[in-house]
Structure 1
Amino acid sequence: MAVPTAVTRADVRSGDDVEAGIVALWRSYGESRDQSQRDRLVLHYAPLVKYVAGRVGTGLPAHVDVADLIQSGIFGLVDAIEKFEPERGLKFETYAMQRIRGAILDDLRSQDWVPRSVRSRARDVERALERLGAKLQRTPTDRELAAELKIGLAELRELYGQLQLTSVVALDELIAPNKGGSSLAESLPDDAAEDPVASLVDQDSRRQLADAIAQLAERDRVVVTLYYFENLTLAEIGKVLGVTESRVCQLHTRAVLRLRTKLNEQSEA
Protein backbone atom coordinates (compact mmCIF):
# COMPACT_ATOMS: atom_id res chain seq x y z
CA MET A 1 0.00 0.00 0.00
CA ALA A 2 3.06 2.25 0.30
CA VAL A 3 3.31 2.85 -3.45
CA PRO A 4 -0.13 4.47 -3.93
CA THR A 5 0.52 6.67 -0.88
CA ALA A 6 3.84 7.83 -2.30
CA VAL A 7 2.26 8.54 -5.68
CA THR A 8 -0.53 10.52 -4.08
CA ARG A 9 1.92 12.62 -2.09
CA ALA A 10 4.00 13.25 -5.19
CA ASP A 11 0.90 14.34 -7.06
CA VAL A 12 -0.01 16.73 -4.27
CA ARG A 13 3.49 18.22 -4.23
CA SER A 14 3.39 18.58 -8.01
CA GLY A 15 0.02 20.30 -7.85
CA ASP A 16 1.24 22.64 -5.13
CA ASP A 17 4.30 23.51 -7.21
CA VAL A 18 2.13 24.34 -10.24
CA GLU A 19 -0.19 26.48 -8.11
CA ALA A 20 2.75 28.33 -6.56
CA GLY A 21 4.20 28.90 -10.03
CA ILE A 22 0.93 30.38 -11.32
CA VAL A 23 0.64 32.66 -8.29
CA ALA A 24 4.17 33.89 -8.91
CA LEU A 25 3.43 34.36 -12.61
CA TRP A 26 0.32 36.41 -11.83
CA ARG A 27 2.31 38.57 -9.42
CA SER A 28 5.05 39.15 -11.97
CA TYR A 29 2.57 39.89 -14.76
CA GLY A 30 0.70 42.33 -12.55
CA GLU A 31 3.90 44.27 -11.97
CA SER A 32 5.36 44.19 -15.49
CA ARG A 33 2.37 43.59 -17.82
CA ASP A 34 4.84 41.66 -19.95
CA GLN A 35 3.22 40.11 -23.05
CA SER A 36 5.27 36.89 -22.85
CA GLN A 37 4.02 36.33 -19.31
CA ARG A 38 0.47 37.03 -20.45
CA ASP A 39 0.90 34.42 -23.18
CA ARG A 40 2.06 31.88 -20.58
CA LEU A 41 -1.13 32.57 -18.59
CA VAL A 42 -3.17 32.11 -21.77
CA LEU A 43 -1.59 28.71 -22.36
CA HIS A 44 -2.22 27.67 -18.76
CA TYR A 45 -5.89 28.62 -18.80
CA ALA A 46 -6.59 27.55 -22.41
CA PRO A 47 -8.52 24.42 -21.28
CA LEU A 48 -11.16 26.79 -19.87
CA VAL A 49 -11.85 28.02 -23.41
CA LYS A 50 -12.36 24.50 -24.74
CA TYR A 51 -14.68 23.71 -21.83
CA VAL A 52 -16.84 26.83 -22.24
CA ALA A 53 -16.94 26.51 -26.04
CA GLY A 54 -18.03 22.89 -25.69
CA ARG A 55 -20.85 23.84 -23.33
CA VAL A 56 -22.08 26.67 -25.55
CA GLY A 57 -21.74 24.48 -28.63
CA THR A 58 -24.02 21.76 -27.23
CA GLY A 59 -26.90 24.22 -27.38
CA LEU A 60 -26.28 25.25 -30.99
CA PRO A 61 -27.25 23.76 -34.36
CA ALA A 62 -24.85 21.26 -35.93
CA HIS A 63 -23.59 23.71 -38.57
CA VAL A 64 -21.90 25.86 -35.91
CA ASP A 65 -18.22 24.84 -35.73
CA VAL A 66 -16.92 24.49 -32.16
CA ALA A 67 -13.43 25.43 -33.44
CA ASP A 68 -14.81 28.87 -34.34
CA LEU A 69 -16.25 29.19 -30.83
CA ILE A 70 -12.85 28.30 -29.34
CA GLN A 71 -11.15 30.97 -31.46
CA SER A 72 -13.62 33.57 -30.22
CA GLY A 73 -13.20 32.34 -26.66
CA ILE A 74 -9.43 32.83 -26.77
CA PHE A 75 -10.00 36.55 -27.28
CA GLY A 76 -12.24 36.50 -24.22
CA LEU A 77 -9.54 34.74 -22.20
CA VAL A 78 -6.89 37.29 -23.22
CA ASP A 79 -9.29 40.10 -22.30
CA ALA A 80 -9.96 38.44 -18.93
CA ILE A 81 -6.26 38.14 -18.13
CA GLU A 82 -5.59 41.76 -19.05
CA LYS A 83 -8.52 43.11 -17.01
CA PHE A 84 -8.48 40.76 -14.02
CA GLU A 85 -8.21 42.48 -10.63
CA PRO A 86 -7.15 39.93 -7.98
CA GLU A 87 -7.82 42.41 -5.18
CA ARG A 88 -11.57 42.11 -5.81
CA GLY A 89 -11.42 38.63 -4.35
CA LEU A 90 -13.03 36.86 -7.31
CA LYS A 91 -11.54 33.56 -8.42
CA PHE A 92 -9.94 34.00 -11.86
CA GLU A 93 -11.51 30.86 -13.35
CA THR A 94 -14.99 32.16 -12.49
CA TYR A 95 -14.28 35.58 -13.96
CA ALA A 96 -12.59 34.16 -17.07
CA MET A 97 -15.44 31.77 -17.89
CA GLN A 98 -17.84 34.73 -17.91
CA ARG A 99 -15.58 36.70 -20.26
CA ILE A 100 -14.96 33.71 -22.52
CA ARG A 101 -18.66 32.94 -22.79
CA GLY A 102 -19.42 36.60 -23.44
CA ALA A 103 -16.85 36.76 -26.25
CA ILE A 104 -18.29 33.65 -27.88
CA LEU A 105 -21.86 34.96 -27.68
CA ASP A 106 -20.82 38.38 -29.01
CA ASP A 107 -19.21 36.68 -32.01
CA LEU A 108 -22.30 34.57 -32.65
CA ARG A 109 -24.48 37.68 -32.61
CA SER A 110 -22.13 39.67 -34.83
CA GLN A 111 -22.35 36.96 -37.48
CA ASP A 112 -26.15 37.00 -37.14
CA TRP A 113 -26.58 33.29 -37.78
CA VAL A 114 -30.24 33.50 -36.80
CA PRO A 115 -32.55 34.08 -39.80
CA ARG A 116 -35.10 36.89 -39.48
CA SER A 117 -37.92 34.39 -39.77
CA VAL A 118 -36.60 32.53 -36.71
CA ARG A 119 -36.30 35.77 -34.73
CA SER A 120 -39.89 36.54 -35.69
CA ARG A 121 -41.05 33.12 -34.50
CA ALA A 122 -39.20 33.67 -31.22
CA ARG A 123 -41.10 36.92 -30.67
CA ASP A 124 -44.36 35.13 -31.47
CA VAL A 125 -43.59 32.51 -28.82
CA GLU A 126 -42.67 35.14 -26.22
CA ARG A 127 -45.87 37.13 -26.89
CA ALA A 128 -47.94 33.94 -26.64
CA LEU A 129 -46.26 33.11 -23.33
CA GLU A 130 -47.09 36.60 -22.05
CA ARG A 131 -50.75 36.32 -23.06
CA LEU A 132 -51.20 32.86 -21.58
CA GLY A 133 -49.30 33.74 -18.41
CA ALA A 134 -51.56 36.73 -17.83
CA LYS A 135 -54.68 34.71 -18.57
CA LEU A 136 -53.82 31.54 -16.62
CA GLN A 137 -51.78 33.17 -13.84
CA ARG A 138 -49.23 30.36 -14.16
CA THR A 139 -46.69 28.99 -16.59
CA PRO A 140 -48.55 27.47 -19.57
CA THR A 141 -47.85 23.93 -20.65
CA ASP A 142 -46.43 23.09 -24.06
CA ARG A 143 -49.84 21.85 -25.15
CA GLU A 144 -51.50 25.13 -24.13
CA LEU A 145 -48.76 27.15 -25.85
CA ALA A 146 -49.12 25.10 -29.02
CA ALA A 147 -52.87 25.71 -29.02
CA GLU A 148 -52.32 29.45 -28.55
CA LEU A 149 -49.92 29.47 -31.50
CA LYS A 150 -52.35 27.30 -33.50
CA ILE A 151 -49.73 24.63 -34.17
CA GLY A 152 -49.32 21.01 -33.12
CA LEU A 153 -47.26 19.86 -30.13
CA ALA A 154 -44.68 18.19 -32.38
CA GLU A 155 -44.38 21.39 -34.43
CA LEU A 156 -43.82 23.42 -31.25
CA ARG A 157 -40.99 21.14 -30.19
CA GLU A 158 -39.47 21.41 -33.65
CA LEU A 159 -39.77 25.19 -33.27
CA TYR A 160 -37.79 25.02 -30.02
CA GLY A 161 -35.00 23.39 -32.01
CA GLN A 162 -35.05 26.24 -34.54
CA LEU A 163 -34.89 28.79 -31.71
CA GLN A 164 -31.72 27.35 -30.16
CA LEU A 165 -29.50 30.21 -31.30
CA THR A 166 -31.90 32.82 -29.94
CA SER A 167 -31.82 31.19 -26.50
CA VAL A 168 -28.06 30.94 -26.11
CA VAL A 169 -27.74 33.83 -23.68
CA ALA A 170 -26.19 34.01 -20.25
CA LEU A 171 -28.56 34.41 -17.33
CA ASP A 172 -26.77 37.62 -16.34
CA GLU A 173 -27.85 39.12 -19.68
CA LEU A 174 -31.47 38.31 -18.89
CA ILE A 175 -31.32 40.24 -15.61
CA ALA A 176 -29.00 43.02 -16.79
CA PRO A 177 -29.86 43.89 -20.42
CA ASN A 178 -28.82 47.53 -20.07
CA LYS A 179 -25.40 47.15 -18.50
CA GLY A 180 -23.47 47.52 -21.70
CA GLY A 181 -22.47 43.89 -21.96
CA SER A 182 -20.91 43.61 -18.50
CA SER A 183 -21.29 40.24 -16.87
CA LEU A 184 -22.77 39.31 -13.52
CA ALA A 185 -19.25 38.46 -12.35
CA GLU A 186 -18.08 41.98 -13.16
CA SER A 187 -20.98 43.52 -11.25
CA LEU A 188 -20.15 41.75 -7.98
CA PRO A 189 -19.71 44.28 -5.16
CA ASP A 190 -16.21 45.53 -4.39
CA ASP A 191 -15.66 45.65 -0.61
CA ALA A 192 -13.22 48.51 -1.07
CA ALA A 193 -15.77 50.74 -2.78
CA GLU A 194 -19.22 51.01 -1.22
CA ASP A 195 -22.05 51.74 -3.60
CA PRO A 196 -25.35 51.09 -1.82
CA VAL A 197 -27.45 52.00 -4.85
CA ALA A 198 -25.63 49.54 -7.12
CA SER A 199 -25.84 46.92 -4.37
CA LEU A 200 -29.61 47.32 -4.10
CA VAL A 201 -30.01 47.09 -7.87
CA ASP A 202 -27.92 43.91 -7.95
CA GLN A 203 -29.90 42.37 -5.08
CA ASP A 204 -33.16 43.24 -6.83
CA SER A 205 -31.92 41.68 -10.09
CA ARG A 206 -30.98 38.48 -8.31
CA ARG A 207 -34.36 38.42 -6.57
CA GLN A 208 -36.18 38.86 -9.89
CA LEU A 209 -34.18 36.04 -11.43
CA ALA A 210 -34.84 33.75 -8.46
CA ASP A 211 -38.57 34.55 -8.60
CA ALA A 212 -38.68 33.87 -12.35
CA ILE A 213 -36.87 30.54 -11.99
CA ALA A 214 -39.19 29.51 -9.15
CA GLN A 215 -42.19 29.96 -11.46
CA LEU A 216 -40.82 27.64 -14.14
CA ALA A 217 -42.15 24.12 -14.61
CA GLU A 218 -40.18 21.56 -12.60
CA ARG A 219 -38.20 20.15 -15.54
CA ASP A 220 -37.36 23.62 -16.84
CA ARG A 221 -36.17 24.54 -13.35
CA VAL A 222 -33.97 21.45 -13.18
CA VAL A 223 -32.43 22.15 -16.60
CA VAL A 224 -31.65 25.78 -15.71
CA THR A 225 -30.17 24.82 -12.35
CA LEU A 226 -28.01 21.99 -13.68
CA TYR A 227 -26.84 23.91 -16.76
CA TYR A 228 -26.13 27.36 -15.32
CA PHE A 229 -25.38 26.64 -11.67
CA GLU A 230 -24.02 23.07 -11.61
CA ASN A 231 -22.14 23.43 -14.94
CA LEU A 232 -23.46 20.18 -16.42
CA THR A 233 -23.52 19.77 -20.19
CA LEU A 234 -26.80 19.11 -22.01
CA ALA A 235 -25.73 15.49 -22.54
CA GLU A 236 -25.10 15.07 -18.79
CA ILE A 237 -28.45 16.65 -17.97
CA GLY A 238 -30.09 14.21 -20.38
CA LYS A 239 -28.65 11.31 -18.38
CA VAL A 240 -29.97 12.82 -15.14
CA LEU A 241 -33.47 13.27 -16.59
CA GLY A 242 -33.43 10.06 -18.62
CA VAL A 243 -34.07 11.85 -21.93
CA THR A 244 -32.07 12.51 -25.10
CA GLU A 245 -29.70 15.45 -25.47
CA SER A 246 -31.93 16.92 -28.19
CA ARG A 247 -34.89 16.85 -25.78
CA VAL A 248 -32.80 18.63 -23.13
CA CYS A 249 -31.91 21.22 -25.76
CA GLN A 250 -35.64 21.79 -26.35
CA LEU A 251 -36.25 22.11 -22.61
CA HIS A 252 -33.36 24.58 -22.30
CA THR A 253 -34.72 26.71 -25.14
CA ARG A 254 -38.21 26.65 -23.62
CA ALA A 255 -36.86 27.57 -20.18
CA VAL A 256 -34.87 30.56 -21.45
CA LEU A 257 -37.82 31.84 -23.49
CA ARG A 258 -40.05 31.60 -20.44
CA LEU A 259 -37.47 33.26 -18.21
CA ARG A 260 -37.09 36.11 -20.68
CA THR A 261 -40.86 36.55 -20.78
CA LYS A 262 -41.23 36.55 -16.99
CA LEU A 263 -38.35 38.97 -16.47
CA ASN A 264 -39.80 41.32 -19.09
CA GLU A 265 -43.14 41.19 -17.28
CA GLN A 266 -41.43 42.04 -13.97
CA SER A 267 -39.54 44.98 -15.48
CA GLU A 268 -42.77 46.39 -16.92
CA ALA A 269 -44.75 45.94 -13.71
Structure 2
Amino acid sequence: MTNEELWVQYKEYNSKEAKDALIIEYVELVKIIAGRLYTSYNAHVEFDDLLSYGIIGLIDALEKFDHKKNIKFETYANIRIRGAIIDQIRHMDWIPRSTRQKYKRIEEAVARLQKKFGNDFTDEQIADELGLTLEAFSKLLGEATTYSVVSLEEKIEDSLNFDIASNVVDIQPEDRFVENEMKKILSQTIEQLPEKEMRVMQLYYYSELTYKEIAEILEISESRVSQIHTKAISKLKIALNDLY
Protein backbone atom coordinates (compact mmCIF):
# COMPACT_ATOMS: atom_id res chain seq x y z
CA MET A 1 0.00 0.00 0.00
CA THR A 2 1.39 3.42 -0.96
CA ASN A 3 1.85 6.27 1.48
CA GLU A 4 -1.06 8.15 -0.08
CA GLU A 5 -3.29 5.08 0.28
CA LEU A 6 -2.33 4.75 3.94
CA TRP A 7 -3.42 8.32 4.57
CA VAL A 8 -6.76 7.73 2.87
CA GLN A 9 -7.34 4.51 4.83
CA TYR A 10 -6.49 6.19 8.11
CA LYS A 11 -8.22 9.53 7.65
CA GLU A 12 -11.28 8.48 5.69
CA TYR A 13 -11.86 4.96 7.02
CA ASN A 14 -10.27 5.28 10.49
CA SER A 15 -8.05 2.26 9.89
CA LYS A 16 -5.90 1.45 12.93
CA GLU A 17 -3.64 -0.70 10.75
CA ALA A 18 -3.01 2.28 8.45
CA LYS A 19 -2.26 4.52 11.43
CA ASP A 20 0.23 1.99 12.84
CA ALA A 21 1.86 1.73 9.42
CA LEU A 22 2.21 5.53 9.24
CA ILE A 23 3.80 5.62 12.71
CA ILE A 24 6.34 3.03 11.58
CA GLU A 25 6.88 5.00 8.34
CA TYR A 26 7.75 8.23 10.18
CA VAL A 27 9.41 6.98 13.35
CA GLU A 28 12.81 7.53 11.71
CA LEU A 29 11.99 11.26 11.56
CA VAL A 30 11.41 11.18 15.34
CA LYS A 31 14.79 9.51 15.86
CA ILE A 32 16.55 12.19 13.80
CA ILE A 33 14.89 15.07 15.68
CA ALA A 34 15.37 13.43 19.09
CA GLY A 35 19.02 12.70 18.31
CA ARG A 36 19.68 16.28 17.31
CA LEU A 37 18.03 17.69 20.42
CA TYR A 38 19.89 15.15 22.56
CA THR A 39 23.15 16.62 21.26
CA SER A 40 21.89 20.16 21.91
CA TYR A 41 21.00 19.42 25.52
CA ASN A 42 24.45 18.03 26.27
CA ALA A 43 23.11 14.65 27.40
CA HIS A 44 21.26 16.10 30.42
CA VAL A 45 18.32 13.92 29.42
CA GLU A 46 18.12 10.34 28.22
CA PHE A 47 17.79 9.79 24.47
CA ASP A 48 15.03 7.23 25.04
CA ASP A 49 13.03 9.86 26.96
CA LEU A 50 13.36 12.32 24.08
CA LEU A 51 12.32 9.58 21.68
CA SER A 52 9.21 8.86 23.76
CA TYR A 53 8.26 12.55 23.84
CA GLY A 54 8.80 12.72 20.09
CA ILE A 55 6.55 9.71 19.46
CA ILE A 56 3.80 11.53 21.35
CA GLY A 57 4.33 14.50 19.03
CA LEU A 58 4.25 12.22 15.98
CA ILE A 59 0.95 10.65 17.01
CA ASP A 60 -0.49 14.11 17.67
CA ALA A 61 0.68 15.18 14.22
CA LEU A 62 -0.89 12.14 12.56
CA GLU A 63 -4.22 12.79 14.27
CA LYS A 64 -4.35 16.51 13.42
CA PHE A 65 -2.83 16.52 9.94
CA ASP A 66 -5.15 17.23 7.00
CA HIS A 67 -3.87 15.02 4.19
CA LYS A 68 -5.96 16.93 1.64
CA LYS A 69 -4.06 20.18 2.11
CA ASN A 70 -1.09 21.02 -0.05
CA ILE A 71 1.64 20.60 2.56
CA LYS A 72 4.15 17.83 3.23
CA PHE A 73 3.50 15.82 6.37
CA GLU A 74 7.22 15.87 7.22
CA THR A 75 7.11 19.67 7.49
CA TYR A 76 4.12 19.59 9.81
CA ALA A 77 5.39 16.64 11.86
CA ASN A 78 8.77 18.30 12.40
CA ILE A 79 7.03 21.20 14.16
CA ARG A 80 4.83 18.93 16.26
CA ILE A 81 7.62 16.52 17.24
CA ARG A 82 10.07 19.26 18.23
CA GLY A 83 7.31 21.08 20.08
CA ALA A 84 6.34 17.96 22.06
CA ILE A 85 9.95 17.29 23.08
CA ILE A 86 10.66 20.89 24.06
CA ASP A 87 7.43 21.13 26.06
CA GLN A 88 8.37 18.05 28.08
CA ILE A 89 11.89 19.36 28.70
CA ARG A 90 10.42 22.66 29.93
CA HIS A 91 8.29 20.79 32.45
CA MET A 92 11.33 18.86 33.70
CA ASP A 93 13.01 22.17 34.68
CA TRP A 94 16.39 20.42 34.98
CA ILE A 95 18.46 23.52 34.24
CA PRO A 96 19.69 25.05 37.54
CA ARG A 97 18.65 28.61 38.32
CA SER A 98 22.33 29.53 38.60
CA THR A 99 22.90 28.46 34.96
CA ARG A 100 19.96 30.56 33.79
CA GLN A 101 21.39 33.55 35.68
CA LYS A 102 24.84 33.03 34.16
CA TYR A 103 23.40 32.97 30.65
CA LYS A 104 21.39 36.10 31.42
CA ARG A 105 24.62 37.89 32.38
CA ILE A 106 26.22 36.90 29.06
CA GLU A 107 23.14 37.99 27.12
CA GLU A 108 23.07 41.40 28.84
CA ALA A 109 26.79 41.94 28.21
CA VAL A 110 26.38 40.99 24.54
CA ALA A 111 23.43 43.39 24.22
CA ARG A 112 25.50 46.27 25.61
CA LEU A 113 28.39 45.50 23.26
CA GLN A 114 26.04 45.20 20.28
CA LYS A 115 24.93 48.79 20.85
CA LYS A 116 28.55 49.90 20.70
CA PHE A 117 30.05 47.64 18.04
CA GLY A 118 27.24 45.87 16.17
CA ASN A 119 27.85 42.12 15.97
CA ASP A 120 31.63 42.25 15.64
CA PHE A 121 33.34 42.09 19.03
CA THR A 122 35.71 39.66 20.68
CA ASP A 123 35.61 37.27 23.60
CA GLU A 124 38.08 39.56 25.36
CA GLN A 125 35.62 42.47 25.10
CA ILE A 126 32.78 40.38 26.52
CA ALA A 127 35.04 39.19 29.36
CA ASP A 128 36.00 42.81 30.13
CA GLU A 129 32.33 43.82 30.08
CA LEU A 130 31.61 41.08 32.63
CA GLY A 131 34.68 41.91 34.72
CA LEU A 132 36.15 38.46 34.14
CA THR A 133 39.39 37.02 32.87
CA LEU A 134 39.25 35.39 29.46
CA GLU A 135 39.70 31.99 31.13
CA ALA A 136 36.81 32.62 33.53
CA PHE A 137 34.61 33.82 30.66
CA SER A 138 35.37 30.68 28.63
CA LYS A 139 34.34 28.57 31.61
CA LEU A 140 31.14 30.61 31.98
CA LEU A 141 30.31 30.07 28.30
CA GLY A 142 30.77 26.34 28.70
CA GLU A 143 28.42 26.24 31.68
CA ALA A 144 25.76 28.28 29.90
CA THR A 145 25.85 26.58 26.51
CA THR A 146 23.04 24.09 27.20
CA TYR A 147 20.66 26.76 28.44
CA SER A 148 21.48 28.99 25.47
CA VAL A 149 20.11 26.36 23.08
CA VAL A 150 17.01 25.77 25.22
CA SER A 151 16.45 29.51 25.53
CA LEU A 152 16.51 30.09 21.77
CA GLU A 153 14.27 27.06 21.12
CA GLU A 154 11.73 28.37 23.65
CA LYS A 155 11.81 31.87 22.18
CA ILE A 156 11.10 30.56 18.69
CA GLU A 157 8.37 28.21 19.96
CA ASP A 158 6.71 31.07 21.87
CA SER A 159 6.97 33.40 18.88
CA LEU A 160 5.24 30.85 16.65
CA ASN A 161 2.45 29.93 19.05
CA PHE A 162 -0.03 29.58 16.19
CA ASP A 163 -0.32 26.38 14.17
CA ILE A 164 1.91 27.07 11.17
CA ALA A 165 1.42 23.87 9.27
CA SER A 166 -2.10 22.62 9.84
CA ASN A 167 -3.85 25.89 9.19
CA VAL A 168 -1.86 27.34 6.32
CA VAL A 169 -4.95 28.85 4.72
CA ASP A 170 -6.34 30.12 8.03
CA ILE A 171 -3.31 31.95 9.44
CA GLN A 172 -4.20 35.50 10.35
CA PRO A 173 -2.27 38.25 8.51
CA GLU A 174 -0.67 39.46 11.74
CA ASP A 175 0.57 35.92 12.53
CA ARG A 176 1.96 35.51 9.03
CA PHE A 177 3.72 38.86 9.43
CA VAL A 178 5.34 37.74 12.72
CA GLU A 179 6.47 34.47 11.14
CA ASN A 180 7.99 36.21 8.12
CA GLU A 181 9.60 38.92 10.22
CA MET A 182 11.14 36.36 12.55
CA LYS A 183 12.62 34.38 9.66
CA LYS A 184 13.95 37.56 8.07
CA ILE A 185 15.53 38.80 11.29
CA LEU A 186 17.15 35.44 12.02
CA SER A 187 18.54 35.26 8.49
CA GLN A 188 19.83 38.83 8.56
CA THR A 189 21.39 38.42 12.00
CA ILE A 190 23.20 35.23 10.99
CA GLU A 191 24.54 36.94 7.86
CA GLN A 192 25.86 39.84 9.97
CA LEU A 193 27.73 37.60 12.41
CA PRO A 194 31.53 37.39 12.31
CA GLU A 195 32.66 34.75 9.84
CA LYS A 196 33.36 31.94 12.34
CA GLU A 197 30.09 32.44 14.22
CA MET A 198 28.15 32.53 10.96
CA ARG A 199 29.89 29.36 9.79
CA VAL A 200 29.07 27.51 13.02
CA MET A 201 25.41 28.52 12.82
CA GLN A 202 25.13 27.50 9.19
CA LEU A 203 26.78 24.13 9.79
CA TYR A 204 24.71 23.47 12.92
CA TYR A 205 21.27 24.60 11.79
CA TYR A 206 21.33 24.26 7.99
CA SER A 207 23.78 21.39 7.47
CA GLU A 208 22.64 19.80 10.77
CA LEU A 209 26.12 18.75 11.83
CA THR A 210 27.17 17.89 15.38
CA TYR A 211 29.71 19.90 17.41
CA LYS A 212 32.26 17.16 16.74
CA GLU A 213 31.74 17.34 12.96
CA ILE A 214 31.88 21.14 12.99
CA ALA A 215 35.06 21.05 15.08
CA GLU A 216 36.72 18.80 12.49
CA ILE A 217 35.72 21.08 9.61
CA LEU A 218 36.86 24.30 11.34
CA GLU A 219 39.89 22.59 12.95
CA ILE A 220 39.02 23.78 16.45
CA SER A 221 37.97 21.97 19.62
CA GLU A 222 34.38 20.90 20.34
CA SER A 223 34.37 23.13 23.42
CA ARG A 224 35.33 26.09 21.23
CA VAL A 225 32.49 25.30 18.82
CA SER A 226 30.15 25.23 21.82
CA GLN A 227 31.40 28.63 23.01
CA ILE A 228 31.03 30.21 19.55
CA HIS A 229 27.55 28.74 19.26
CA THR A 230 26.51 30.17 22.64
CA LYS A 231 27.68 33.66 21.70
CA ALA A 232 25.89 33.54 18.36
CA ILE A 233 22.67 32.31 19.96
CA SER A 234 22.66 35.22 22.41
CA LYS A 235 22.83 37.63 19.47
CA LEU A 236 19.98 35.86 17.68
CA LYS A 237 17.82 35.89 20.81
CA ILE A 238 18.43 39.62 21.30
CA ALA A 239 17.40 40.22 17.68
CA LEU A 240 14.18 38.26 18.27
CA ASN A 241 13.48 40.19 21.48
CA ASP A 242 13.65 43.41 19.45
CA LEU A 243 10.83 42.12 17.24
CA TYR A 244 8.44 42.25 20.18
Which TM-score applies when normalising by structure 1? 0.79
Q: Which residue does 2:243 correspond to in 1?
A: 267
Partner residue, 1:132: 113
- What CA distance in whole angstroms lies between the structure 1 residues aligned with 2:165 and 2:150? 16
- 2-structure distance, mates of 1:160, 1:235: 17
Question: Of the candidates 213, 218, 233, which is equivalent to residue 190 of structure 2?
Answer: 213
Look up the equivalent residue of 1:159 and give its one-letter code: L
1:165 aligns with 2:141: no
User: In the TM superposition, what whole-angstrom CA distance separates every residue of 1:209-242 from its partner, at most 9, and x where no partner exists?
Assistant: 2222222222221222222222223332222222
Aligned to 2:165: 186
1:147 maps to which of 120, 124, 128: 128
Cα separation, partners in 2 of 1:28 and 1:39, compared to 1, 3 Å: same
What displacement does 1:176 show? 6.2
Corresponding position of 1:123: 104
RMSD of aligned alpha carbons: 2.6
Q: Is the 8 A contact 1:212 1:263 kept in 2?
A: no
**Which residue of 1 is the match for residue 231 of structure 2?**
254
1:86 aligned counterpart, secondary structure: coil
Deviation (angstroms), 1:21: 2.1
Task: Please give the alpha-carbon distance, in whole angstroms, between the structure 2 residues aligned to 1:137 and 1:252.
Answer: 17
Does structure 1 retain, via aligned residues, the 8 Å contact 2:31–2:51? yes
Distance in 2 (CA, whole Å) between partners of 1:222 and 1:118 is 26
Query: Is 1:29 equivalent to 2:5 in the alignment?
Result: no
Kindly state the Cα deviation for residue 128 of structure 1 after the two structures are TM-superposed: 0.8
Distance 1:141 1:87, change over 3 A: farther
Output the amino acid matched with 1:107. Q
> More displaced, 248-257 or 194-203?
194-203
Number of aligned residues? 244
Q: Report the 3-state secondary structure (helix = DSSP H, G, I; strand = E; otherwise coil) of the residue aligned with 1:186.
A: coil
Kindly provide the amino acid, as one letter, of the partner of residue 60 in structure 2.
Answer: D
| Aligned residue number for residue 63 of structure 2 | 82
Provide the C-alpha distance between the structure 1 equivalents of 2:166 and 2:211, rounded to a whole number of angstroms.
27
Work out the CA distance in 2 between the residues paired with 1:86 and 1:241: 42
- For 2:167 and 2:183, the matched residues in 1 are separated by 11
Note if 1:235 corresponds to 2:216: no
SS, match of residue 109 in structure 1: helix
> Could you list the per-position Cα deviations for residues 139-177 of structure 1 after superposition, in whole angstroms to 9, with x for gaps in the alignment?
422111111111122322222222233222496754563
CA drift of 1:246 comes to 3.2
Q: Which runs of 5+ in 1 are unaligned?
A: 1-19
| Residue type of the alignment partner of 1:142 | D
Match of 1:55 among 11, 36, 42: 36
Distance 1:240 1:141 in 2: 22
Counterpart Cα distance in 1 of 2:167 and 2:187: 17
1:91-145 Cα deviation digits (max 9, x unpaired): 2223222221221111111100110111111111111111111122344221111
User: Would the alpha carbon gap of residues 62 and 46 (structure 1) be closer, same or farther in structure 2, given more than 3 Å must change?
Assistant: same
Indicate how the Cα distance of structure 1 residues 188 and 157 shifts in structure 2: closer, same or farther if over 3 A, else same: farther
| Higher gyration radius (CA) | 1
Which consecutive unaligned segments of at least 5 residues does structure 2 have? none
Whole-angstrom distance in 2 between the partners of 1:150 and 1:188: 49
**Alignment check: 8 A CA contact 2:50 2:85 kept:** yes
Report deviation, 1:63: 3.8
Q: Is the 8 A contact 1:59 1:249 kept in 2?
A: no
Cα distance in structure 2, aligned partners of 1:207 and 1:148: 29
- What TM-score do you get using the length of structure 2 for normalisation? 0.87
